[in-house]
Structure 1
Amino acid sequence: MIKRNLLVMGLAVLLSACGFQLRGTGTTELAIKELDVSARNAYGETVTQLRQVLSSSGVKVYTGAPYKLILTDEQESQRILSYAGAGRTGEYQVTTVLNYDIRGEHDLALMSDKLEVEKIFIHDGNNLVGSDQEAATARVETRRELVQRMILRLQQITPTQLDQLQQTANARAKAEADALKAAQKAEAETPRQSPVEIPQQ
């Protein structure tokens, strides 16, 4: 018995030394350590939950951080998958699409993308209260999964990738500024036609 316990403990130490972690027990490590998180709905449940998860993962969330995560649009839709008539059970699908931008220095856009989560729930025409609860639960689970997927997306971003994205954004902004300056210079150097004078009678 003692030998078996020692063997189990030894395996646990060995696995942990190799970096093995059970799902849900590891820490969420992000390359971005400071983040400004905002949304169109500043006090919405998605952005509020996202701020909480980021903070608990060691990310300092505050206004004016070097990088910005902006939840530009969040849309929810619901459709019937199967319907058996009035007063009967049917399947519904709720879908939430979340569009977001990540911005860096000088508020330049580094990347734009979207997340989409779908959940199916049962609607029972004979149990409207229970069906409403099913729908509410589906929406809560959808939002939770959206936040989890966003964290996974952020985890995949490396410091090297951020630097490359920032350099690309800087070069694009400089090219646009140079093009605008050249256009303004060309316009300024273009001789303007003098107004035609009409001789007085």
Structure 2
Amino acid sequence: MIKRNLLVIGLAVMLSACGFQLRGTGQTELAIKELDLSARNAYGETVTQLRQALQTSGVNVHAGAPYKLILTNEQESQRAASYAGGSGRSAEYELTTVLSYTIDGHNDTNLLNDKLEVRKIYVHDGNNITGSQQEATQARKEMRRELVQNMLVRLQLLTPTQLEVLQQKADERAKAEADAMEAARRAQDETPQQSPLQLPMN
């Protein structure tokens, strides 16, 4: 038993030395140190937990940060996955939550659009409505924690250099669109306006 414990501790030390962290333990180191965070549901559980997780990871979350993470939409769906028992009173349900988000840069230019998706199955027992509701509630809590963790992983992959490149491309697109609109306006201004066609009077 002692040898086994020592082996487990040894593996944990080796993995941590390689930069590996067990899920749900430790802190996620982010290269982004400043971030503005908002959501359609400004006081929802997801954005609240994400803000806390970001702050725990050393990110200064505040308005006016160079980049803004916006949770644009969180949509949940449910479908019956399978039925169990001859009476059909028990069933497995699959919950799916899709979280859409954007990252905006300077001058509110859009840099990135993406989404996260998590799924979880829970059992609904027709003979135990209260217990089934509690299990569904617990499943949703776990899914929300998974969403927050997955978002941190996504953000962990983004570096300030990558964001600067995305910002540069967005600025170039915005300038090209502005130039095109200006050229179209000039062309319209330079085009002679034709007078209405007058038909000869008989």
TM-score calculated relative to the size of structure 1: 0.86
CA distance in 1 between counterparts of 2:15 and 2:121 reads: 37
For the Cα contact (< 8 Å) 1:87–1:124, is it kept in 2?
no
- 1:118/1:163 CA distance change after superposition, 3 Å: same
Q: 1:19: Cα distance to partner?
A: 4.8
Gapped regions of structure 1 (runs ≥ 5): none
Match of 1:52 in 2: 52
Other structure's SS at 1:171 match? helix
How much has 1:163 moved relative to structure 2? 1.3
Matches of 1:193 and 1:17, distance apart in 2: 76
User: 1:5-43: CA deviations, max 9, x gaps?
Assistant: xx99xx79x859945555244331111111111111111
Paired letter, 1:32: I
Quote the offset at 1:83 in angstroms.
2.1
Alignment deviations for residues 122-154 of structure 1 (CA, whole Å, 9 cap, x no partner): 111100000000110111111110000000000
Distance 2:27 2:120 in 1: 27
Instruction: State the SS of the aligned residue for 2:192.
Output: coil
- Residue 62 of structure 1, CA deviation: 1.1
Root-mean-square deviation (CA, aligned residues, Å) is: 2.7
CA contact (8 A) 1:76 1:96 kept: yes
Alignment partner, residue 31 of structure 2: 31
Q: CA, structure 1 residues 119+109, in 2 after alignment: closer, same or farther (shift >3 Å)?
A: same
Q: For this pair of structures, how many residues does the alignment match?
A: 192
Distance between the aligned counterparts of 2:117 and 2:155, measured in 1? Answer: 16
Q: Which residue pairs with 1:82 in the alignment? A: 82
Residue identity over aligned pairs, in percent, reads 64
Cα distance between partner residues in 2 of 1:176 and 1:20: 44
Query: Using a 3 Å threshold, how does the CA distance of structure 1 residues 115 and 66 change in structure 2: closer, same or farther?
Result: same
Question: Per-residue deviation at 1:88?
Answer: 2.3
Distance 1:135 1:16, change over 3 A: closer
Q: 1:15 to 1:91 in 2, by over 3 A?
A: closer
TM-score, scaled relative to structure 2: 0.85
Shift of 1:56: 1.1
Deviates further, 41-50 or 82-91:
82-91
| Deviates further, 130-139 or 185-194 | 185-194
Task: Indicate if the aligned counterparts of 1:87 and 1:126 stay in contact, CA closer than 8 A.
Answer: no
**Superimposed CA distance per residue, residues 140-191 of structure 1 (whole angstroms, 9 cap, x where no aligned partner):** 1111100000000000001221111111101100100000000011011111
User: How is 1:129-144 mapped onto 2 (pairs within 5 angstroms)?
Assistant: 129-144=130-145
Q: Amino acid of the residue matched to residue 50 of structure 1?
A: L
The code of the aligned residue for 2:154 comes to R
Structure 2 counterparts to residues 23-172 of structure 1, below 5 A: 23=22, 24-84=24-84, 88-172=89-173
Shift of 1:196: 5.9
Post-superposition offset of 1:195: 4.7
Q: Distance in 2 between matches of 1:76 and 1:86?
A: 28
Distance 1:175 1:185 in 2: 15
Tell me the distance in 1 between the aligned counterparts of 2:56 and 2:98. Answer: 25
